[in-house]
Amino acid sequence: MLFAVFLLSLQTQMNKIILLLFLLFSCPSIRVVAAQDFMTTEVYSLRQKSDRASFSAKIEFPLQGGRAVLRGVREWICEMLLLDNPKQIDESTINALLRQSCTQFLHETESGSRQIEIYRSFEDERLVTYELLVTDKGTETWRSEDCVSFSKRDGHRLRVGEIFKCSERQICELMWANREGIPVDAEGPQDLCVGNVGITDGWIVVIGPAWRFTGAGYRIRFEDAEPYLQNIWK
């Protein structure tokens, strides 16, 4: 009798295991849903020189992910390469777009260099954040930084008011308090202004003015920014 009960229990457990294996292998969407939530990327790069000028770029380009956020990130990358949005932006065209950006720079520049780095700096279930650093060297050196977060729901760039719930004046005060390492050519927070805003791991990055920057990234510690953030980000 006990042996029969043991066999029945064993058969029940085996049936559960078989059912679980059937669900896993017959429903591929169950296995890949988590992976599909996050982007897969590949780094593309280009280096080229003319007689007195040089160009280099390193781009972390998104290959797979949600359709809307892929489109948003790819269009922003084209903007940062100073290109009009082409009809097709994907892995089959990114090398040609890099060459186009390079040719445009070398044609317009008699001497000097440009270095471009674009990379994904943060991603979670709700958003993906990309950052940019451009260094132009000629008679002077100028840098340009940018940081933008894209909604995974519909691919749009998050606006300042979607991240902060306070006034621009308060954001400038936060920037001023977290300006360490940035050559700020200002007397106080009243001389700053707010550009793009992005969310990274532990920081809120606000683009603002700095000496010999067309835009510099002010990194505000999350614990400093938290009282001024929309509730969704707390």
pLDDT at 46: 98
- The string of pLDDT tens digits covering residues 72-118 is 999 999 999 999 878 889 999 999 999 999 999 999 888 999 999 99
pLDDT at 211: 97
- The string of pLDDT tens digits covering residues 181-214 is 999 999 999 999 999 999 999 999 999 999 999 9
State how far the Cα of 206 lies from the Cα of 220, in Å rounded to an integer: 8
What proportion of the chain, given as a percentage, has pLDDT over 70?
85
Quickly name the fold that domain 38-233 has.
Answer: Heat Shock Protein 90 (3.30.565)
Let me know the angle formed at the C-alpha of 218 by 172 and 161, rounded to the nearest 5 degrees. 55
In 3D, which of 175, 176, 179 has the Cα closest to residue 206?
Answer: 175
Judge contact between 207 and 221, C-beta under 8 A.
no
- The string of pLDDT tens digits covering residues 13-55 is 555 444 444 444 444 433 333 445 799 999 999 999 988 899 9
Judge contact between 40 and 64, C-beta under 8 A.
yes
pTM: 0.84
For residue 136, report the phi and psi dihedrals to the nearest 5 degrees: -110, 125
199-to-73, 131, 162 alpha-carbon distances in Å: 15, 10, 11
pLDDT at 23: 42
Please state the domain extents for the chain. 38-233
**One-letter amino acid for residue 30 of the chain:** I
